[in-house]
Structure 1
Amino acid sequence: MKKILFTFIILFSISISSQEKEVNEKIQYLINNNIISDDIVDSIFKKHRRHEKDLKLLINKSKESSYLYGQFYGHRSLGRINRDLSLFEKSISEYNKAVEITKQLKDTISELKVLNSIGSAYRRQDDIPNALNYHQEALDIALNIKNPSIDIKKSISISQNSMGNLYISLRQYELALNEFSNSIVVQKQLNNKLGLAINYQNIGNAKEELGDLDGAYENYLKSLNFNNALENSVGKIICAYSIANVLIKQKKYDKALKTVDTVLQRAIKQKDMYYLSNTYNTLGLAQVHLNKLNPAQKNLNKALQIASNYNVQNIVVRSNENLSLLYEKKKDFKKAHQYYKIAKEEDAKTYNNLNLLYVNELRSRYDKQRTKNQLKDLSKQNEIAKLQLEKNRNIFILIASLFVLLIVILYSIIRERSLRNEKKFLTLKQEALQSQMNPHFIFNALNSIKLYIINNEQKNAVYYLNKFAKLIRKILEASNVKEISLREELETMELYMSIENIRFNNEINYTFSVDENLKLDSIKIPPLVLQPFIENAIWHGLSSKKGIKKIALSVTKTEEDYILISIEDNGIGRKASAKIKAGKTTNRKSIGIGLTTERLRSFVRGLEKDFSLKYTDINGEKNNIEGTKVEIKIPLV
C-alpha cells in the first residue's frame, strides 16, 4: 500500500512539473515572438486562461520582459474569472489594469471590449450610473471611428445591447426594445449566434416587463435554440429561469418548476453567483405557488444570502418579495410584512439612484443637442457668407455700369435686394443666437436640480425639473419663429427667473406687474428679447450684493402706439459692477445686449416708429446708487 501511495505521489509531482514546464515554454514563446494578436495568444494559452496561477505567472514574466500584450491578456482573463465568480471588485480592478495597457498598446478594439466588460460587471451589481458611463464611453469611441471593422461593429452592438439592459433597469422598456433592435441588426449581418442568443434573451426580458408574456416566451425559446446549438451552458441556465418566470406568471407552476429544476445543478457547477441566485430565486417561487413551502423557504433563503453577499441588488429585492409571499401562505403575517418592507426599502435605494441617473442622462442628451446646434449654426454661417458675396457682386455691377439711366435702374434693384439680404442676414444671426442659448446656464441648472436629488428633496427636484423642461421646450419653440406674444415672453422669463433663482437659494424676490388694460396675446415682440437684460440684472447687479435681492419687471402703455418694459434691480449699480469686472484676471466679452439691440432694430425696420433703450442708475436718500433700471420702449406692431 505504501509503495502504491509513493508511486502516486511521484507521478503526481512529475505531472505538475510537466505542466509548469509547458506553461513556461508557452509564455516564453509569446514573449520571444512579441505576439499581439488576440486570436493567436488565445489559441496558445486557451488551456490556461481559467487558471489564476498560470495567468499571474504570465503577467509577472511579461512585466519582466516589457511584453505589454501578455500583461493585457493576463489582467483581462483574471477580470473575466472574478466576474464569473461574482467577485466584482476584483474583476473591475483587473479590467481597469487591462484598459490602461490597451492605451499604451493603442489597441482600440481591445479597449472597447474591456470597457464593455467593466460596464457589464457594474450592471450585474445594479450600479446603473457606472455601468452607463462605461458602456456609453465604449459606444462613443466606436461611433467616432470611420469605416469600422467587423470587431468595431461587434463592439457597437454589444454597447447598444448593454444600453438596452440599462433602460430595462430604468423601466424604460420601449427604449430598451429600440436598442436591442439596433443591436440585433448588426448580429444578423455578422451571423453571430452568441450575439443573437443574447439579444433574443434581452428582448424577451423587455417584453416580459411590458406584460407581453407570449412575446417574451417566444424570444426566450429563440435564445435557447441558439444556446443549445452553441452548447453554451450559461446561456441555457439564463433561458431556463427566464422561461420558468414566464410560466409562473402564466400560472403553469408544475412546468415552471420542472424547467428551472433541470438547470440547478448546472448553475451550481458554473459557480457564477449572479446566475445561481437567479436560479434559486425562481425555483423557490415556483415551489411557493405549488405549496411546497419548506423547500421553497430553503431555496429563497439561499438566493437571498448569495445575492446579499455578492451585491446582486435585483435578486435581493425579488427574493424578499417572494419570502413575503411564502410567509403570507404560512399565515405568518408579521414576517410577511417584514420581508415586504425590506423589499420595498431595497427597491427604493436602487430607484433613487436611477432618478439621479435620469438627470445625468438629460444632461448628456443636451450635450448631444448642443453639438447638433453647432453644426446647424455652421451651416447658417456659410449661408451668411454666400449672401455677403452676393451683396459685393451687386456693388461691383453698380460701379461697373456705364450708362447713367442703367445705373439708376440697377441701383434701385440692388438697393431692394440688399435690404432683403440684410434682413435675412439678421434673421439668420437671430437663429444662430437662439441655437447657442447659454450652455453654462443649462449645465448649472442641471447641477442645481441634481443637488435636490442627492439631498433627497424629491418634491423640489420634480418641481424644478418640470419647470426646466418647460423652459427648454419654450426656447426650442421660440427658435423657429421671428416673433411671439408678450404673454409667451413673460411666461418664459418667469420660468427662466425661477431656474436661475435656485443658484441663489431662492433669495431673489422677483415680481412681474402688467397693465391690466393691455392685451398681451395681441402684442408681438422678438422671442427671448428680455432674457439678456434679466441675466445682466442678476449676474452684474445682484450676484455681488449682500442682503435682500429684488428684481421687478413691469409692462405699461405710455403712449398710444408704444409699450414700456421696465426691468429694475436693487443691485450694486453699473459703476461698482464695472470695477469688479475690471479687477478680474480674465474677462469674457458679452455680446448678448448687442445682438438683442440688433434684433430689435431688425424687428422695427419698416415701421414708422423706432424703439428706444435707456439705462438709469437708481439713487438712494444719501445720493448713493441703490440699483439699476432698464427701460425698453417698443412700438406696437
Structure 2
Amino acid sequence: MKLLVKYITLLYLVFSTSFVFAQVNEDVIDSEKRFTIRGSVIESNTYKPIPDVNIEVSGGAYTTTDALGEFRIVAKRGDELIVRHKDFETVYYIIKSSERIKVEVEPNKTDNFRSQALKSKTSTKVFKSLIDSAEVYLKKDAKKSIQFIADGLKVSKSVKENGEAYEVLGDIYMHWKQYDLAVSNYRISIQNRPTNSVKIKLAKAYQLNKNYQESLTTYNDIDKKELSNWELVTLYEGIGDVHQNTKSFDASIDAYTEGLKVASKHLITPKITDLNSKLAQVFDEKGEPEKAKGRFNESLRFASTQNKKRAVEEKLKFAEFQNNLSDYSNEIEIRKQALDDIKEIEIDSVFDNESPLTPQKQNYKIGNAYALKKDFGNAITYLEKSIEEADDKEDLIVQKDATRKLSDVFRDAGEYDKARITFDNYIELLDKVYIKREQEISQAARFSKDIINKQNRILSLESDRALSESKYQLNIEQARTQKLIIYSLIGGVLLLLITAFIMFKYIKQQRLANNLLALRTLRSQMNPHFIFNALNSVNSFIASNDERTANKYLSDFSLLMRAVLENSEEDFIPLEKEIELLELYTKLEHFRFKDKFDYNITVDKNIKVNDFVIPPMLLQPYIENAVWHGLRYKKTKGHLNIEITQNKPDEIKITITDDGIGRQKSKALKTEHQQKQNSKGMGNIKKRVSILNNMYKDKVDVFIDNFQDEEDTGTKVIVTLKKD
C-alpha cells in the first residue's frame, strides 16, 4: 500500500546570529550559513514513526530517519530538501530558514498515495516550544536561554526529550565559552540518547577545554560509516584541530587532508575553504612556507566563490602569513584590498570591536608594516587614521596599541616632542584600559556565578522530580493504607500487624531518601560558596597585575576544584583523599596570606588512613574560618596547626588550632552581611553533621572552643571520626 504525504509542518524559525566575526542585521541572512534541520516522518492516524525514509539535501548531505522516524540534516538557506521513500512519490522543498519539519502520512482508500505541499504549522507541544525558545535566545541572553531549558526539563516526559534538552544546554555553554559545563551536559545528553552529532560536539568541547586525549578518544570511538558527509568532514577537521593544538603537525596534516578529500568529493565548499586555510597554518607553523602559500592560495580561491566576508577573512589570514615572512609590501597590499572589501561589507553588517574585520585594526596593521619597512610617513598616516577610527568606535585596545606604536614611530623618525606627547596619550589610554579590564573581570565573575547557580538548579531537577513522584506515591499509598486498615479491622488483628510493619518500613525508607536529598542540597550550597571565595582570590591577583601569581594560583586551584567536584556527590570519601584536599586548600590560602601565618599538617604514622572515611569538604570551612576570620587580622604572624591522631582503634581525632584573634574579636569586626554569611555557612556544616549522625549512628562529633588564654585567644576545633 502506498503512502500519501499529508503534511510537512514548519514548527519554528530559529533565529541565529553570528557573534564571532560579525553581527548580521536581522533582515539579512547569510545565504552560506549552515544550520541543522530537525524533522520527523509519522503516520497521521496512529502517529507511528516511519523509519528508513531517505532524506537528502542538494549539495551532498544525506541521512535517513531512525527507528523513531526522526532525522537531522545540515543545510543552508536555498538548499533543496528531497524526501524519498518506496511507498510515496519524491517530495521536493526549498529550505528558507532553520526549521523543524514534520511529515504526516495517511493511507488512501484506493491504496494510492500522492505527495502534498509542505505547509507550516505551530507545534502545540510545550516541550518543543521551550527548547525552540532556548535556541532563539542562545546567542543573545544565556540566562534566559538556560531558564527555558530548565522549564523544558520540568515538562519532559522521555529520555529522548531529556537528551535533546541537555544537547541544547551544551550548545549554550559552548557559545558562551563555558567549555567544562558544555562537556558535562553533552555527556548527560549522550547518556539519555546517544547520537553521533552530539558525540562530535562533545569531542569539540573536550578540545576547547584542553582535554585533548579525551577529545581524540571520543572522535575515534565514533563509527565513521554512520556519519553523513558533512559530519565526516567535521570529524576529520576536529581530529586535525586537536593534533594542531598538541603540535603533532604531521598527524594534523593527515587528518585535515582526509577531511579535504571528502569535502572535495561531495563539493562541500565551505569546508574546502576551511581545511585549506587550516592546512596552510599548520605548514606555516611547521616551517614549510611554500606549502603554506599554496594552501592559502587554494583557500582564497574557494573563499571568493562563497561571499565577500569569507573572502576577506582568508585575505587577512594570508596577510598575517606574509607578515611572518617579513614580506611587508605584499602584506600592505593585501590589507589595503581587505579595507576596501570591509567598507562594502559594512553597508549591510555591523562588526563589534572583537572582530578582526574592523577598519581600525587593519589600519593599525598597515601602519605597523610601514614602520617595519622604515617608511615613517605612511606609517604615521595609517596609525593616526587607526587611532581616529578606534576613538570613534570606542575601541580602547586598538587605540592604545596604535598610540604606543605611533609614539615609537615618531621617536624613530627623530620627532621627539611628538613622541613624548603621544606617549603621554598612551599612558592615559593605558589607565582607561585598566579600569575597563577591572569592570570586565567583575562582570565575568558575576556571570560565572549566575551560570553555575543555574546549572546547579538544573542538575537538582532530577532530585526534585524524584521527590515529587515520591510524594505523589506517598499520597496514593496513604489512601490505600486507609482502606487496608478498614479491611484489617474486619479481617483480624494479624492483617493489621502486617500492614503496620509495611508502613513502618516504608516511612523509614522515605526518611532515608529525604536525608539523602537534604545532604545533596547542603552540598550544592557549599560548593558555589567555596568556588566564589576562590574566584575572589584569583580576582585580587589579577587586579594587582600579578599575572604570574594568578596563573600559578589558578593551576593549583583547578586541581582542587576537579577533586572537589569529583567528590561532590559522595556522602563519604576516604580520609586519604580528604587529607590531600586539605593540603592543597591550605597551600592555596597560605599562597595568598603567607605573610599572615605559617601552617603545619601532621598525620600520626600509625593511622591507617584507608580504614577511615569522612564527609567531603567537612574540614575545609573550619580552616577557611581560621584563616579569614582569625589569622588574617592578627597583628603578628600566626600559626595554623592541623593534627590527626588516633586515640582508640576505631576512632581518630582531627584537631585544627590557630592563634588568631579569636571568635569574639572576629565577630566584632564583621559587618552585618558577613555575620549572616558566616552563620549560614557554619549552619550548613552543623546540619550536615546532624543528618549524617542520624543516618550513621553518631559517626562524627565536632567540638569548638578557644585555643589559649592570651590576648589573641585563637580557636580550637576538634573533629572526632569513628570507623564504620
Question: What TM-score do you get using the length of structure 1 for normalisation?
Answer: 0.52
- Cα deviation, 1:483-512, whole Å, max 9, x if unaligned, reads 211121122233333445577575143322
Q: Report the CA distance shift for 1:498/1:574 in structure 2 as closer, same or farther (over 3 A).
A: same
**AA matched with 1:380:** S
**AA matched with 1:529:** L
Aligned runs of 1:503-514 on 2, under 5 Å?
506-514=595-603
Q: Report the CA distance shift for 1:173/1:208 in structure 2 as closer, same or farther (over 3 A).
A: farther
Q: Report the CA distance shift for 1:353/1:206 in structure 2 as closer, same or farther (over 3 A).
A: farther
Residue 464 of structure 1: how far off its partner (Å)? 1.7
Tell me, in whole angstroms, the C-alpha distance in 1 between the residues paired with 2:562 and 2:322.
Answer: 44
Q: Report the CA distance shift for 1:497/1:261 in structure 2 as closer, same or farther (over 3 A).
A: closer
Aligned runs of 1:400-411 on 2, under 5 Å?
401-402=488-489, 403-411=492-500
Residue 480 of structure 1: how far off its partner (Å)? 2.7
Residue of structure 1 in register with 2:689 after alignment: 597
**Is contact 2:700-2:721 (8 Å) kept?**
yes
**Is contact 2:631-2:638 (8 Å) kept?**
yes
Residue 406 of structure 1: how far off its partner (Å)? 2.4
- 2:509 is aligned with 1:426: no
Q: Report the CA distance shift for 1:297/1:584 in structure 2 as closer, same or farther (over 3 A).
A: closer
Q: Report the CA distance shift for 1:458/1:385 in structure 2 as closer, same or farther (over 3 A).
A: same
- Cα deviation, 1:211-264, whole Å, max 9, x if unaligned, reads 695776655555544546xxx9xx876665554555776999998787667678
Q: Report the CA distance shift for 1:481/1:459 in structure 2 as closer, same or farther (over 3 A).
A: same
Aligned to 1:455, which of 527, 538, 544?
Answer: 544
**Is contact 2:626-2:660 (8 Å) kept?**
yes
Tell me, in whole angstroms, the C-alpha distance in 2 between the residues paired with 1:512 and 1:550.
Answer: 11
Residue of structure 2 in register with 1:526 after alignment: 615
Q: Report the CA distance shift for 1:450/1:505 in structure 2 as closer, same or farther (over 3 A).
A: farther
Residue 560 of structure 1: how far off its partner (Å)? 1.1
Tell me, in whole angstroms, the C-alpha distance in 1 between the residues paired with 2:173 and 2:517.
Answer: 37
Tell me, in whole angstroms, the C-alpha distance in 1 between the residues paired with 2:514 and 2:301.
Answer: 61
For the residue of structure 1 that corresponds to 2:610, the secondary structure is coil
For the residue of structure 2 that corresponds to 1:521, the secondary structure is helix
Q: Considering only aligned residues, what root-mean-square deviation do their CA atoms show, in Å? A: 6.2
**Is contact 1:604-1:635 (8 Å) kept?**
no
Q: Report the CA distance shift for 1:257/1:626 in structure 2 as closer, same or farther (over 3 A).
A: closer
For the residue of structure 1 that corresponds to 2:608, the secondary structure is coil
Q: Report the CA distance shift for 1:399/1:459 in structure 2 as closer, same or farther (over 3 A).
A: farther
- Cα deviation, 1:116-164, whole Å, max 9, x if unaligned, reads xxxxxxxxxxxxxxxxxxx9995448847989xxxxxxxxxxx999989
**Is contact 1:551-1:568 (8 Å) kept?**
yes
Q: Report the CA distance shift for 1:470/1:201 in structure 2 as closer, same or farther (over 3 A).
A: same
Aligned to 2:524, which of 435, 455, 465?
Answer: 435
**Is contact 1:508-1:550 (8 Å) kept?**
yes
**Is contact 1:241-1:278 (8 Å) kept?**
no
Q: Report the CA distance shift for 1:507/1:137 in structure 2 as closer, same or farther (over 3 A).
A: farther
Tell me, in whole angstroms, the C-alpha distance in 2 between the residues paired with 1:219 and 1:521.
Answer: 59
Q: Report the CA distance shift for 1:279/1:364 in structure 2 as closer, same or farther (over 3 A).
A: closer
**AA matched with 2:696:** V
Tell me, in whole angstroms, the C-alpha distance in 2 between the residues paired with 1:384 and 1:142.
Answer: 26
**Is contact 1:244-1:282 (8 Å) kept?**
no
**Is contact 1:204-1:215 (8 Å) kept?**
yes
> More strand by proportion, 1 or 2?
2
Higher relative contact order structure (alpha carbons within 8 Å, sequence separation ≥ 6): 2
Q: Report the CA distance shift for 1:280/1:547 in structure 2 as closer, same or farther (over 3 A).
A: closer
- 2:719 is aligned with 1:627: no
- Cα deviation, 1:591-632, whole Å, max 9, x if unaligned, reads 223222134315634xxx7543333444527xx882332322
More off after superposition, 556-565 vs 536-545:
536-545
- Cα deviation, 1:378-415, whole Å, max 9, x if unaligned, reads 54245335445656766773866433322333333433
| Higher alpha-carbon Rg | 1
More off after superposition, 393-402 vs 482-491:
393-402
Tell me, in whole angstroms, the C-alpha distance in 2 between the residues paired with 1:459 and 1:579.
Answer: 36
**Is contact 1:526-1:603 (8 Å) kept?**
no
Residue 477 of structure 1: how far off its partner (Å)? 0.6
For the residue of structure 2 that corresponds to 1:469, the secondary structure is helix
Residue 374 of structure 1: how far off its partner (Å)? 2.1
Q: Report the CA distance shift for 1:253/1:429 in structure 2 as closer, same or farther (over 3 A).
A: same
Q: Report the CA distance shift for 1:264/1:408 in structure 2 as closer, same or farther (over 3 A).
A: closer
Tell me, in whole angstroms, the C-alpha distance in 1 between the residues paired with 2:273 and 2:399.
Answer: 18
Using the aligned pairs only, state the percent identity. 24
Q: Report the CA distance shift for 1:216/1:359 in structure 2 as closer, same or farther (over 3 A).
A: farther
For the residue of structure 1 that corresponds to 2:526, the secondary structure is coil
**Is contact 2:438-2:543 (8 Å) kept?**
no
Residue of structure 2 in register with 1:116 after alignment: none
Can you give the 5+ residue segments of structure 2 that lack an aligned partner in the other structure? 1-24, 28-136, 150-171, 178-204, 210-229, 235-268, 286-291, 409-426
Can you give the 5+ residue segments of structure 1 that lack an aligned partner in the other structure? 1-37, 41-134, 148-158, 165-171, 186-196, 325-344
**AA matched with 2:575:** L
More off after superposition, 563-572 vs 531-540:
531-540
Aligned to 2:584, which of 461, 472, 495?
Answer: 495
**Is contact 1:380-1:432 (8 Å) kept?**
no
Residue 473 of structure 1: how far off its partner (Å)? 1.4
Q: Report the CA distance shift for 1:535/1:244 in structure 2 as closer, same or farther (over 3 A).
A: closer
Residue of structure 2 in register with 1:4 after alignment: none
Q: Report the CA distance shift for 1:365/1:625 in structure 2 as closer, same or farther (over 3 A).
A: closer
Tell me, in whole angstroms, the C-alpha distance in 2 between the residues paired with 1:395 and 1:162.
Answer: 48
**AA matched with 1:410:** T
**Is contact 1:483-1:527 (8 Å) kept?**
yes
Residue of structure 2 in register with 1:377 after alignment: 460
For the residue of structure 1 that corresponds to 2:534, the secondary structure is helix
Tell me, in whole angstroms, the C-alpha distance in 2 between the residues paired with 1:203 and 1:366.
Answer: 37
**AA matched with 1:468:** F
Q: Report the CA distance shift for 1:374/1:466 in structure 2 as closer, same or farther (over 3 A).
A: same
- 2:723 is aligned with 1:636: yes
**AA matched with 1:593:** I
Tell me, in whole angstroms, the C-alpha distance in 1 between the residues paired with 2:671 and 2:438.
Answer: 42
Q: Report the CA distance shift for 1:308/1:632 in structure 2 as closer, same or farther (over 3 A).
A: same
Residue 457 of structure 1: how far off its partner (Å)? 1.9
Residue 372 of structure 1: how far off its partner (Å)? 0.9
- Cα deviation, 1:40-62, whole Å, max 9, x if unaligned, reads 9xxxxxxxxxxxxxxxxxxxxxx
Tell me, in whole angstroms, the C-alpha distance in 2 between the residues paired with 1:353 and 1:202.
Answer: 34
Q: Report the CA distance shift for 1:247/1:395 in structure 2 as closer, same or farther (over 3 A).
A: same
Aligned runs of 1:390-409 on 2, under 5 Å?
390=473, 397=481, 401-402=488-489, 403-409=492-498
Tell me, in whole angstroms, the C-alpha distance in 2 between the residues paired with 1:568 and 1:541.
Answer: 11
Aligned runs of 1:107-506 on 2, under 5 Å?
138-140=140-142, 143=145, 220-221=300-301, 223-227=303-307, 240-246=315-321, 299-300=378-379, 302-307=381-386, 310=390, 361=444, 364-387=447-470, 390=473, 397=481, 401-402=488-489, 403-437=492-526, 439-500=528-589, 506=595
- Cα deviation, 1:24-48, whole Å, max 9, x if unaligned, reads xxxxxxxxxxxxxx999xxxxxxxx
Q: Report the CA distance shift for 1:449/1:387 in structure 2 as closer, same or farther (over 3 A).
A: same
Question: What TM-score do you get using the length of structure 2 for normalisation?
Answer: 0.46
- Cα deviation, 1:75-95, whole Å, max 9, x if unaligned, reads xxxxxxxxxxxxxxxxxxxxx
**AA matched with 2:642:** L
- Cα deviation, 1:564-611, whole Å, max 9, x if unaligned, reads 112223345556667778988974653223222134315634xxx754
